[in-house]
Amino acid sequence: MTASKSEYTIGHSWQPRRHIIPALLSATEVRGPYPGVLNKVRASAWILDYEFTAHGKWKITTRRMPWRERRASTVHLYAPNVPVVEDTRFLSGIRHSAWLLLSGGTETGLEKMLDRNKEFAEFVDAEGICGEEFHKIAAVASDRGEAGFAKAQSCLWSLLNILLDAEPIEDGIWRIQDVSHAQKQLSLSARVDAILENPEWKRPSLKFVAQKMHMSVSHLSHTYRRETGIAPITAWRQRRVRQAALLATKGLPLKAIAEQVGFSDAFHLSKVFKKIMGVSPRRYLALAVQARPPITCSRRETK
């Protein structure tokens, strides 16, 4: 960081984590004079770029695209190898920008946010919600370097959730939901649970649920585990086992219960039941019977 508190450059470039999807490659935040040049940008990775202040004009050079104003409080998403030019030659004063390079954008669901040419997307962030996440990531990158990867990844997931929940305005243009509206929305785990509990789908796969929610399997699994502490398939099994336990106390045979709650057969149900409940279905039923209060019968006295 530079000596001036009003001007600084912070960030870090991490070692590639090919087994992690998505994975941050680098994070940078800059506050200082506008570069005042035609800046050509192209990367083999996905780019998430945030402007806290207006940043001149920009355009993609692979097609006949007119120059566009780069507004303050906007996120730009660029697919890999998309050539972009930024023009800040006629600006003065202090710019404030941040950008991230990451891998795994397609698997995470970012590709679905792109325009029809599959090149870029713009997110209007009127409340600066995304800007806060960009700053958190850059600050962790600067303060902790390579050791800050896990923390920065956590912030990245928060940012991606915000972007993936944005409201469409037009082709490739999205609006970040304001805080009051976002708080009213169901969490991702609640939406997943609603699908898992739907009796219409007895054995929904993660791929099926992800398609229903318009996101990748990896993004769904990671976010669900972060919100609940368990994997989606574990949550599904726990719900189905609780249903099976209730049906068992009603006297239904195990084969019929397995079919009703979505297990392939009675053996599979028994195996999962014991793993979750700690006892077999037969033993559970015996314990349930023992725990019932004694039934007393009364009769009317006749006079």
For residues 109-131, average pLDDT: 93
Sheet strands side by side (includes 84-87): 38-41, 84-87, 57-60, 68-69
At residue 182, does pLDDT exceed 50?
Answer: no
pLDDT at 4: 45
Strands annotated E in 61-93:
68-69, 74-78, 84-87
pLDDT at 280: 87
Give the pairing of strands 46-51 and 94-103: antiparallel
Name the CA dihedral angle for 233, 238, 239, 240, rounded to a multiple of 10 degrees. Answer: 90
For residues 247-259, average pLDDT: 83
Question: Crossing angle for the helix pair 217-228 and 188-196, nearest 10 degrees?
Answer: 110
pLDDT band at residue 199 under the 50/70/90 scheme: low
What token pair was written down for 11? 């960030």
Contact 27, 11 (CB under 8 A): yes
Structural domains in the chain, CATH included, are: 8-184 (2.60.120.280), 188-290 (1.10.10.60)
For residues 231-246, average pLDDT: 84
pLDDT at 108: 86
pLDDT band at residue 258 under the 50/70/90 scheme: confident
What token pair was written down for 1? 């960081």
For residues 75-95, average pLDDT: 94
Could you identify the residue written with the tokens 């940008």? 41
What pLDDT digit, counting tens, does each position of 268-288 carry? 889 988 888 888 888 887 776
Cβ burial 91-117 (10 Å sphere, 16+ → b, else e): beeebbbbbbbbbbbbebbbeebbbee
Alpha carbon 112 to its chain centroid, in Å, reads: 14
Contact 83, 41 (CB under 8 A): yes
- Looking at every residue in the chain, the average pLDDT score rounds to 85
End-to-end CA distance of the chain: 98
Could you identify the residue written with the tokens 């941050």? 24
Cis before residue 66, ω within 30 degrees of 0? Answer: no
For residues 156-168, average pLDDT: 90
